[in-house]
Chains A and B, each alone.
Chain A
Amino acid sequence: MKGNIFHHSFYSMGTRFSLLFIHPDESLCEKYAGIITAEVKRVEEKLNYFSGRSDITYINKYAFEREIRLDEEIFHLLKKCDEYNMITEGAFDITMRSIIELKKSGESADPDRISWRNSVYLTDDQKIKFKSRTVKIDLGSLGKGYALEKAESILSPSPINNIFISFGESSILAMGNHPNGGAWQVGINNLMDNGSSIYNFDLVDASVSTSSNYTVDDLGQISLNINVIDPVKKENVDKIKSVSVRSRSPLQAEILSTAFLAMNEERIKTVTDRFEDVSAVQIDYLQQKKITIY
């Protein structure tokens, strides 16, 4: 705690969660930091694709053999996935992990047949069934956004009003105002000039999520992520690019930024026009840092 600034960070979902509370009561900040930590870790455990104990692992293990009844939370998330799969015309697809697994295993199954629409039954009475043994679902593409949404729901009624949260730097939630001004000003880090901003978003009670097919460390060291699959082409996203989406909802920002990575400019514009509080910026580093704003 420095003055009114409380900082807390922890590991989760394979990255770091860092929060700043602007509030003079340290014990109050500690209390909420503890609640947020527990909640984020709970969400992580529930959605973890790799953990043997998660709901997702259970579904992936048994949903081909039989119908699985879902709890309210997972059902709500899968309905969201269904909704945004429709909105993005298949670009947001949580079955893409299956393609990665197929490529790794060298199995002969046809990847073109795998998709949320083709491979999964989700019924209104909260049940799920896979049509193929090779299908797997992975909520990693929305996990951070959902965790931020849960954090926001905990913090909204709290006495702490000015809050800044970075979840792995690719998902930002800003509540209230910057103590020295108005909106929190979030810059999108320039891949070619680490530490400088290539585009700015003003955030008040809003979120920015960035999806890219690379990761970066604190020194700006870049690693390409070969696990980003274009759901339509069923191939790796071959451009070095990032898409940042600003939205009132961190979950929506996360979902749309994932989908936009595999969508062309026209389709992205169609989707952003559909939502009043959604804006986006795409940066294509292979085209001399071409910036497209939606």
Chain B
Amino acid sequence: MDNLFLINRREFLKKISAFAGSTAVVASMPWLKTFSNDLHGKSPNEKVRLGVIGVGDRGRALLLNLQAFMNEANVEIAAVCDNYEPNYQRAINITGGKAKAFYDYRKLLEMKDLDGVIIATPLHEHKRMTIDALNAGMHVFCEKAMARSIDDVKLMYDAHVETKKILQTGHQRMFSPVYLTAIDKIHSGGLGQVTHMRAFWHRNGDWRRPVPKGHPELDRKINWRLYDEYSAGLFTELLSHQMQVANWVKKSYPVSVVANGSINFWKQGREVYDDIACIFDYEDGTQFVYDSINSNKHYGIEEQILGSKGTMELEMNKIYSETPPPPPAILNLINDIEKGVFRTIPIGGASWIPETASNYHGEFIEQNYKMDESKLQLEAFVRYIREDKAPEELTLQGYYSSVWVLLAEQAAKTRERVELPKKYLV
């Protein structure tokens, strides 16, 4: 079935270019404008030279994504960096030894001819690496979430403003054909008034990765997601994606959050919750209800957008109307009446099967959607570099997503309703 939805890069660029040609779409998704613009700044004939810092699982995926389009987009992966030996060797292998390899990211930043860096290191390292890279005059693509603390997120944002360099966060759904079509429909009133959002991300696994035998000191380095000092766990690793989607849908940010969290299943040395539940309150009264767990994967992942005229399940690429489809015979009857035709309408008969949740599978939001949006967000990053700028909304989506997931963590830890302190408003 998947092949039915497969589109190649060229087809996607054509589609996204058509999107980006709409004034209304660009007004609400300004980060798409680059796909219809003539590129300014660096000529497409000049190579965009990138460095990749952090080549763990996510960094490896990004590196491979870059390689998939680097020739076509005239990109050079000029440098790679990781301070963990297996990852360092992996980076060299993937790039065939062509990229300069570093253990220390600061050495990489000394390469004056780099245009930008991609940072895919553990969360707690994002701040210093991002700020150092921005101050070194490089554009930055940083994986989500932005940082371990709200203060650090703000410092990263401030550095971006001061240096006037691009700061893009890895929210790939902003480049997904399904999400682009869906959000455009939502913003055009296709779901009526969006009054409620639900999202979840359920996995069954402890997130613990194997530590080399005889090196227990590497546990915190390898399993950084499990330790409070380095990670906010489900908040920063999973919710951050869906927080961005919720804010995008609402074209707004929450006004408060209440949350709970617990470690109720994986109790072997883990410091971050394996079960969280949050409710975000938006200014218009919309409630965004969220939960994420590590002990059951039956329901998987979803964002459900509930409007007065319909419902969307974004991960499933589905839209459900609140009103039923008119019977084909009724449509024929309307057609006949309009055309002055008088004939029998074959409408009577067995009961129409009720389209309830059990057997109504909705409609696809986007028919041709299978495209790796992680790749597309990197392609956008390259385009922004050529333009020497990116829409501020792009950075703000990442900023407020990171801020609000950390506020949710705070709410869960304090068991208090938390609002955004004014000093973090940007």
Contact = CB atoms under 8 A, between A and B. Distances in A.
Interface of A: 2-3, 5, 7, 9-11, 14-16, 18, 20, 22, 164, 166, 168-170, 172, 178-181, 184-191, 195-197, 200-201, 208, 210, 212, 214-218, 221-223, 242, 244
Given A7-B326, A11-B324, A242 B349 contact: yes
Contact of A168 (B333, B340, B351): B351
B333 A170 contact: no
B333 A9 contact: no
B336 to A, nearest CB: 7
B261 to A, nearest CB: 34
Given A18-B330, A168-B351, A180-B341, A195 B356 contact: no
Nearest to A212: B350
- Nearest first, the 8 A-B pairs at minimum CB distance are A189-B349, A16-B324, A181-B342, A187-B346, A14-B354, A180-B342, A185-B344, A197-B346
B334 interface: yes
A212 B349 contact: yes
Interface in B170-209: none
Contact of B347 (A16, A187, A217): A187
Given A9-B326, A20-B334, A188 B349 contact: yes
A18 B350 contact: no
10 contacts: A16-B327, A16-B352, A164-B333, A169-B351, A170-B348, A178-B342, A195-B346, A196-B346, A222-B350, A242-B350
A184 B324 CA distance: 23
Given A9-B326, A210-B348, 8 more contacts: A14-B354, A16-B325, A166-B347, A181-B342, A185-B342, A187-B345, A212-B349, A242-B349
Contacts of A15: 351-354
B361 to A, nearest CB: 11
Range for the number of chain B residues in contact with chain A? 20 to 34
Contacts of A208: 348
Given A180-B336, A215-B352, A189 B342 contact: no
B334 A197 contact: no
A279 B328 CA distance: 26
A129 B352 CA distance: 34
B347 A172 contact: yes
Given A186-B345, A188-B346, A218 B336 contact: no
A218 B333 contact: no
B334 A7 contact: yes
B24 interface: no
A172 B348 CA distance: 7
Contacts of A22: 337
Contacts of B326: 7, 9, 16, 18
B328 A218 contact: yes
Report which residue of A5, A15, A169, A197 has the largest number of chain B beta carbons within 10 angstroms of its beta carbon: A169
A34 to B, nearest CB: 14
B349 A200 contact: no
B111 interface: no
B335 to A, nearest CB: 9
A189 B350 contact: yes
B417 to A, nearest CB: 33
A186 B344 contact: yes
Report which residue of A22, A187, A200 has the largest number of chain B beta carbons within 10 angstroms of its beta carbon: A187
Given A2-B334, A2-B338, A18-B326, A216 B346 contact: no
